[in-house]
Structure 1
Amino acid sequence: MLIAEELFLLLRRDDGKPESASAQRGYGLAAAVITDLVLAERVTLSDDKDPRMTVLVPGPPGHPVLDAAMARLEQRDGKKLSSLVTDRKLALERPVATALAEAGVIRIEEKRALGLVAERYPVLEPEPERRVREQLRTVLMGGEPRPEDATLLAILQGLGVAGKVLEAEKGTLGRRDLKRRIEEVSTEVKAGEAVKKAVDAMNAALITAAVVPAVVAGGSSG
């Protein structure tokens, strides 16, 4: 699964409702899909403190979620990561939900009562999320992380929901110890420098976006 798909499942309960009403899920999904494309070597990030994104290989990668993200990133080639994370057109919740529904993992329940009852995504097949959670539990307890694990943990921490979402997986880790372990994980990833840089940059951008809600204006120039 894509990191964006794994994050989508982590941020929602089995009944399809959000784990946290306050979490800026759009920021997280944007960060996840950009990292998916960094891992796929379709885009790269500069070495600046607020990195600029450069498209390496234009055109659709062949997955509907990545295709939609790539089309938007081609329009915003050269923009700063901070503006991309808060770009509403990269908060691809519905395309991610559609992909998971087509795979039989969730069901999409449309809005009801003239939109007063929000769209929900109840889980049909819990095994994919169970595998993700077990992997994150292993990593938090000292196991070797994959780039995907480091990205998910960094995004959850950046959104301020790591403790809540990983209530069972964190074991006896308190808030400070969990934060420290997540920071360690980003340094332990055995991956290319571009991936490590992406994880660190995403975490910084998410924290900034979550703390300064004024930057929510998606699509602002970078």
Structure 2
Amino acid sequence: MLIAEELFLLLRRDDGKPENSMAYRGYGFAAALITDLVVAERITLSDDKDPRMTVLAPGPLAHPALDAAMRRLQDRDGKKLSSLVTDGKVAREKELAAALAAAGVIRIEEKRALGLVPERYPVVHGEPERRVRERLRTVLAGGTAAPGDAALLAILQGLEVAPKVLEEERGGLGKKELKRRIEEVSVHIAAADAVGKAVSAMNTAMMTAVIVPIVVSGSS
């Protein structure tokens, strides 16, 4: 399962509604899909503070969300990560939903009441999300994180929803302790390989993308 698909499940309740009405959910999907494409060795990120993305291998990947994100990234080859994370055309939530529905994990309920009632994605098969949450529980308790686990934690923290989404998995960790543990995981994984560096860079990009608009609006 893609990191982006796992994020999709974590950000929604079993009844298909979002965990909350976060304004920046799309940033998370963009970050996750970019990480998935780094893992697939289709793109790479430079070592700059705000890394630039380079396409290594263009073309389809036989997954609707990856294919759509890849087409957009091919058009934006060489751009900075900070601008890609906030690019709505990279965040392919509907394609992720379609792939999960095709796999029998969720069901898509179309918009109703002339669009006033949004689409919902009720869970049909809960085992995939349970496995993800168990992995994250182990990592937060001190276990070794795989790149995908580190990416999920970094994105949830960047969206500022980690305490809520991981309410059970964090065990006795308070909000500050949870943040500290996620930062530890990010630092550790960054020393591992190119994927780890991408995860760490993504964490920084996510935090900047979410926090800066809030600070600007608060000071205006």
TM-score class normalised by the smaller sequence: over 0.9
Q: Does 1:164 align with 2:150?
A: no
Q: CA deviation at 1:3?
A: 0.2
Aligned residue for 2:120?
120
Aligned residues of 1:154 and 1:203 also touching (Cα < 8 A): yes
Aligned ranges 1:6-21 → 2 under 5 Å: 6-21=6-21
Q: TM-score, normalised by structure 2?
A: 0.94
Aligned residue for 1:142?
142
Where relative contact order (Cα < 8 A, 6+ residues apart) is larger, the structure is: 1
Distance of aligned partners of 1:4 and 1:210 in 2 relative to their CA distance in 1, 3 Å threshold: same
Aligned residues of 2:50 and 2:205 also touching (Cα < 8 A): yes
Q: For residues 136 and 102 of structure 2, what CA distance do their matches in structure 1 show? A: 25
CA deviations on 1:94-139 (whole Å, 9 max, x unpaired) are: 0000000000000001111111101110000000000000000000
Q: For residues 115 and 171 of structure 1, what CA distance do their matches in structure 2 show? A: 39
User: Which segment is superposed worse, 87-96 or 19-28?
Assistant: 19-28
Q: For residues 9 and 189 of structure 2, what CA distance do their matches in structure 1 show? A: 23
Q: For residues 34 and 100 of structure 1, what CA distance do their matches in structure 2 show? A: 18
Q: For residues 159 and 170 of structure 1, what CA distance do their matches in structure 2 show? A: 17
Aligned residues of 1:4 and 1:96 also touching (Cα < 8 A): yes
Structure 1 vs Structure 2: percent identity of aligned residues? 74
Q: CA deviation at 1:205?
A: 0.8
CA deviations on 1:126-166 (whole Å, 9 max, x unpaired) are: 00000000000000001111000000000000000000000
Aligned residue for 1:213?
213
Q: For residues 189 and 40 of structure 1, what CA distance do their matches in structure 2 show? A: 17
CA deviations on 1:7-52 (whole Å, 9 max, x unpaired) are: 0000000000000212511000000000000011110001111110
Consecutive unaligned residues in structure 1, runs of 5 or more: 215-222
Q: For residues 23 and 116 of structure 1, what CA distance do their matches in structure 2 show? A: 18
Q: Does 1:63 align with 2:66?
A: no
Aligned residue for 1:202?
202
Aligned residues of 1:7 and 1:152 also touching (Cα < 8 A): yes
User: Which segment is superposed worse, 201-210 or 127-136?
Assistant: 201-210
> Which secondary structure state, in structure 2, belongs to the residue aligned with residue 54 of structure 1?
strand
Read off the aligned partner of 1:204 and give its amino acid letter.
Answer: T
Q: For residues 145 and 23 of structure 1, what CA distance do their matches in structure 2 show? A: 28
Q: Does 1:35 align with 2:35?
A: yes
> Which secondary structure state, in structure 2, belongs to the residue aligned with residue 44 of structure 1?
strand
Q: CA deviation at 1:188?
A: 3.1
CA deviations on 1:153-186 (whole Å, 9 max, x unpaired) are: 0000000000000000000000111011001112
Aligned residue for 1:218?
none
Aligned residues of 1:23 and 1:159 also touching (Cα < 8 A): no
Consecutive unaligned residues in structure 2, runs of 5 or more: 215-220
User: Which segment is superposed worse, 129-138 or 23-32?
Assistant: 23-32
Q: Does 1:133 align with 2:154?
A: no
Q: CA deviation at 1:63?
A: 1.8
> Which secondary structure state, in structure 1, belongs to the residue aligned with residue 124 of structure 2?
coil
Read off the aligned partner of 2:212 and give its amino acid letter.
Answer: V
Q: For residues 191 and 77 of structure 1, what CA distance do their matches in structure 2 show? A: 25
Aligned residue for 1:185?
185
Q: List 4+ stretches of structure 1 deviating above 2 A.
A: 187-193
Q: CA deviation at 1:90?
A: 0.9
Count of residues in Structure 1 that have an aligned counterpart in Structure 2? 214
Q: For residues 173 and 35 of structure 1, what CA distance do their matches in structure 2 show? A: 27
